[in-house]
Structure formats: structure tokens, C-alpha cells
Amino acid sequence: MARIFGLVLALGLLVTAAPSPVMAQVSAETLADIKAELASLSAAITGLRQELVTNGAAGGTEATGSALARMDAIEQELQRLTGKTEELENRINRVVDDGTLRINDLQFRLTELEGGDAVAAGDAPPLGGDTGPAGPDPATDPATGGATEEPAPELAVTEQGDFDRAKAALDSGSFRSAADLFAAFTQTYTGGSLTAEAQYLRGEALLSLGETKEAARAYLDSFSGAPSGPVAAVALFKVGLSLSQLGQMQDACVTLGEVGRRFPDAAVAAQASSEMTALQCQ
């Protein structure tokens, strides 16, 4: 019975700690990990049920019947959690697929406007970056001896310093220098915590230089790299503005409409709505 009590306690902790869809995005566990744990618990319950039935045949049927009733309740809860996990996984996959298709379409059109080969440019990475399996945890990886590896302080200082230099060039009005510095930054620190903001500010520099097509692509790269980041809403808004300046009114209206749909509470959502009115979007 101690094993049963331990299993019930573990399930209780799993249920009470189940994350919301928002928290699931920042959880260390992936949906696949959670599903694997649920499958493991289900297998353990099946084994315990067989033990209870076997022990019940030897005697003590009343206690065994009560335990089996509790096992039934646990199995039902496991089935419910499994169903919810699969539902969440399908919903996330649909959002990623839809967002990636929209970004690919925008990149295709921008490449055509720039006179490049839209087919050779290829597709954008999945919305939000690579969602493949994560690498081993350095805290438990045998190769590191179980020691937690922290990023070198010099790297963080260098990254911030490079960003600050590019930002200083932008603030001083040296737009060409700022655009070049931010471009170098995004190539050096791909996927860094400041990369999406660097892409956005690069777009600002390019727009100040009158290079609207290149600015639109920089804004789009900023949004697609961090679609829930701090500059995602304004970056998407600037994509819509750039498209309208390029004469792509239908695409501009669709993009501006996405700002309000994805970020209804953002201050820039009202600006997007006003711009749609000015463009007479249907």
C-alpha cells in the first residue's frame, strides 16, 4: 500500500502543479516529456492493479476493493490529463503552423519586391525558433560531472557592449553605422536575448536611411525570432507600415489586423487600428 500512497501523492502533485497554456511555454518540460510521464504512471498503475488483484485472491477482499476503487479514480484522472495534454499540443502546433505560413508568405513577397529569387530564399524557421528536443541538462549531464555550467561573464559583457555601441550610433543619427553594427550583432549573437530588439532597431536605422524594403525585412525578422518578446507587437506594426509604404496595401491591412488580434492590450494596437482606418482596410 505504500507504493499506492506514493503514486497517489505523485499524481496529486502533478495535477496541482499543471501549468496553464502560458506557463507551458516557459516550462523546462516539453509536452512530450509530460506525455511520457503520464504513460509511465499509467503503466505503473496497471502493474499495481494486477498486484492488488493477485493479493485479493489470497484474502482481504474488502481492503482490496477499496484500493481498486481509488485506482479507478486515478486512472480516470490520468486519462483526462492525457487528453488535455494532447489538446494543448495540437493547439500549439496549429498556432505555429499558421504563424510560420504567414511569415513565409511575407518573406516571399518582400524578396520579390527586392528583386531576389523568392524560391531560392527558402522557408523561414518555425515560428518561435527550433522546437526540437533540448540538449542534455548540464546540471545532470555526466559529461560535466553533474556541475551546472553558467555562461562566462565576459560573453554577457561583450554582448551588452556591442549592443550599446550600435544603439549609441543610432541615437546619434549615424544610421548607416548603426544598421551595420546591428547587422553584425544579430549574426554574432544569433538567438540571444537582445537579438530581436537589435533586429527591430536595425529596421529603424534602415527606415531612417529610406531603405524601406530592407527595414521591413528587419522588422519581420525581429517579430519571427521572438513572437512573444517585448518588441514583437511594435515590430509587427512596423512591418504593416512598411508594406503600406511599399504599396502593398492588402498585405499591409492583413498585417496591421494581426497586431490587434495578437496583442489586443498593447499600446500599438490602437495605432494599428487607426492606420487601418487611414488605409481604408476592409
Question: Whole-angstrom Cα distance, residue 198 to residue 179?
Answer: 9
Distances (CA, A) of 77 to 46, 48, 71, 80, 149: 14, 16, 10, 5, 38
Q: Which fold has domain 154-278?
A: 1.25.40
Q: Which of 58-62, 92-96, 104-108, 232-236 has the lowest mean pLDDT?
A: 58-62
**Residues 6+ away with beta carbon under 8 Å from 51:** none
What value does the mean pLDDT take over residues 19-37? 54
Q: Which residue has the higher pLDDT, 209 or 62?
A: 209
pLDDT at 230 over 80: yes
Domain locations along the chain: 2-100, 154-278
Distance CA 125, CA 276 (A): 29
- The proportion of the chain whose per-residue pLDDT surpasses 90, expressed as a percent, equals 38
CB distance 212 to 245 below 8 Å? yes
Model pTM? 0.51
**Can you tell me which residue has the cell 525558433?**
129
Which of 222 and 88 is assigned the larger pLDDT?
222
- Contact yes or no for 127/223 (Cβ under 8 A): no
How far is 257 from 240, CA to CA, in rounded Å? 9
Work out the mean pLDDT of the chain and round it to a whole number.
73
pLDDT band with cut points at 50, 70 and 90 for residue 241: very high
Cα angle for residues 228, 100, 89 (degrees, 5° grid): 70
Assigned C-alpha cell, 55: 493479493
Lowest mean pLDDT among 133-137, 179-183, 216-220, 242-246: 133-137
Q: Residues 66-89: pLDDT tens digits? A: 666 666 666 676 667 777 777 777
Q: Which has more pLDDT, 263 or 117? A: 263
| pLDDT value at residue 137 | 45
What per-residue confidence (pLDDT) applies to 282? Answer: 79
For 9-18, 233-242, 246-255, which range has the lowest pLDDT when averaged over its residues?
9-18
What is the pLDDT averaged over residues 98-103? Answer: 71
Whole-number percent of the chain with pLDDT over 70:
52
